[in-house]
A = this chain, B = another copy of it.
């Protein structure tokens, strides 16, 4: 997605060989118009998958997911990283290790909003080692629902997550695929080269 790549080149900050900071439009400040266009793109890519629900993870996955849900006309559920007192229902839980934050989080959803028969699109802001996506997949599986696909805003293709998920036969669509962050520079995977993998 050209618009997103341009935004990353203009505003993204390369903090290390593996950390790209996009706090000015996705992870802290949010650009609502860009989120709408991201939502339109995910909706286009997954239009024919018979999706009934979108599942994401708080907090940075919420904005792109809500725009996608708006375009597809379906609800969004966000998994929580901590339990809330008002979430009194039976919870489905999975453990997710964050390499960025160097800690494990239990993520959870109520068993009320994703059910057997649901066909779920998972959306997240970043795909690196795939831990968050695998945790979300586990929640969907526990609910007895099926995975329609995985929509990622920014994939770091030099980390293992993308391959892990694609090897499982999952449809993974990343709107920007970063090949390398070496020398303080963002390089994207060339268009379509890996699309057929």
Contacts and interface: CB of A to CB of B under 8 A. Distances in A.
Given A23-B86, A59-B59, A109 B66 contact: no
B15 A88 contact: yes
A101 B80 CA distance: 14
Interface string A56-89: 0011001101110110011111101000111111
Chain A: interface secondary structure?
A: loop
A52 to B, nearest CB: 12
A102 interface: yes
Interface residues of A, number: 44
5 contacts: A21-B88, A30-B78, A33-B70, A63-B66, A85-B100
Interface of A: 15, 19, 21, 23-25, 27-33, 35-36, 58-59, 62-63, 65-67, 69-70, 73-78, 80, 84-89, 100-102, 109-110, 112-113
